[in-house]
Amino acid sequence: MSKSIFIDIKDHEIATYIFDIKQKGFEILDTRKYPFSGKTDFELNVVGKDFENTYISFPMSALNFRVIDLPFSNKDRIREILPFELDGIILGGVDKVVFDDIIIGSSDNRCQVLAVYVEKAFIRDILEKLKTYNVDPLIITSLELRSILKDFTVERLLSPIRLQDEDRIALAAEEIKKSTINLRRDEFAYTRDIERTKKSLRVTALLFILLIFVLSADLLLKIYFTRNEIASLKGKMRSIYKEFFPEEKNILNEIHQFKSHLKILKEKEDYFIGISPLNILLDLSMIDRTGIVFNELVLDKETLTMRGETSSFSDIQELKNRLGQVFKDVDVSDSRTSIEGKIVFTITAKEKKI
């Protein structure tokens, strides 16, 4: 549960109200009272670190007021003009005070402004005393002023006001939700949240830098191990390549050179697997060759070439017919009579593919 404390400074007494502020209202958790002589030697039984926020109310006797008519109602312009309006009517000049403003009436682009100011010395003394309790108020306001503004007249502003404790607690809860004024300005501006934010941003930035460092280190390690693995694979590839091609000395790119060798082997593939010499010889041995002598037999990828001699042309024709039963595209490409009187012939054929 988050708690907020409201320190209500009166003329002769200080009251503290500890709230649990909720969306639909508030719950008062504790109230205490302490004597106050108007000086900063008061004692409180509070510890600031136990509260989410701290608020403080000054009594009417500590505040000063001026009602000023201005020909505009813009808040930013009012804030710019007020120092010059107040400087001539504040003893010691506007640099001695901290002020805030409230628009109490307006008509025809003109407005009445209530300037509320307090001496810097008083604020400084109160804040220094509260600092000893580790209390740093978020807002400096006035409960009596809030009550007067609900039905504002100059006469009420100048008359003493007495509020019951119950009324002061209710007004304090209203001020926590939305303050009437805030005299915590200029050199007394509240900076704890800013410093907390800066610290949070510094921690976030440090964590982000550490994250980048961890990611970078992880990436570098991955790069290092990947490079080592690549070098190891290259070494294995070179070793395997040398086993296949031990005579090759100039090795520049194992993969490229291996592909080149593979391409050459594929081109020669048909020469190794396209010819079956034993099958062809076996087929020839089954054919009747009476009176015929083969002198030469040439086998290549596509064609079987047979050269031989016989005693008559009819033998060549019979051989062609017999070969046609085993081979295809049988053709007598050459036949002639030799000096010895023999018939020399050349027959070509192709193996039948099953």
The pLDDT assigned to 3 comes to 85
Least confident of 27-31, 64-68, 110-114, 192-196: 192-196
Domain limits, the chain: 4-190, 200-267, 273-351
269 confidence band (pLDDT: 50, 70, 90): low
- Give CA–CA dist 67/148, Å, rounded: 14
Q: Name the helix (H) or strand (E) containing 319.
A: helix 313-324
Which residue would you say has higher pLDDT here, 295 or 175?
Answer: 175
* Cα 139-141-145 angle, rounded to 5 deg: 160
Give pLDDT, residue 227. Answer: 87
Which numeric CATH code is attached to 273-351? 3.30.1360.100
Given a cut of 90, whether residue 27 has pLDDT beyond it is no
pLDDT tens digits for range 52-106: 889 999 999 899 999 998 988 888 888 999 889 888 888 888 899 999 999 998 8
pLDDT digits (tens, 9 = 90+) for 226-257: 888 888 888 888 888 777 777 777 877 877 77
Distance (Å, whole) CA 84 – CA 118? 17
Which of these CATH numbers, 1.20.58.760, 3.40.228.10, 3.40.710.10, 3.30.420.380, describes 4-190? 3.30.420.380
Q: Cα–Cα distance between 261 and 263 in angstroms, integer? A: 5
Q: What is the mean pLDDT of residues 108-137?
A: 90
CA distance 67 to 101: 10
Q: Residue 139: what pLDDT?
A: 93
- pLDDT confidence band for 17 (50 / 70 / 90): very high
Q: Is the dihedral of CA 55, 61, 63, 65 positive or negative?
A: positive
**H helices within 132-191, ranges in order?**
143-149, 154-158, 165-177
Band (340; pLDDT cuts 50, 70, 90): confident
Residue 276 DSSP label: -
Q: Can you give the pLDDT at residue 49?
A: 65
Q: pLDDT over 70 for what percent of the chain?
A: 92
The top-scoring range by mean pLDDT among 42-51, 180-189, 201-210, 217-226 is 180-189
- What's residue 273's pLDDT? 54
Average pLDDT over residues 120-137: 90
pTM to 2 decimals? 0.56
**Contact indicator for 32, 16 with CB cutoff of 8 Å:** yes
Task: Answer for the pair 100, 185: CB distance below 8 angstroms, yes or no.
Answer: yes
Which residues 6+ apart lie within 8 Å of 116 measured at CB?
63, 64, 65, 99, 100, 101, 102, 142, 145, 181, 183
- Give the per-residue pLDDT at 260: 80
Question: Does 164 or 250 have the greater pLDDT score?
Answer: 164
348 has a pLDDT exceeding 60: yes
* pLDDT tens track for 270-280: 555 555 677 77
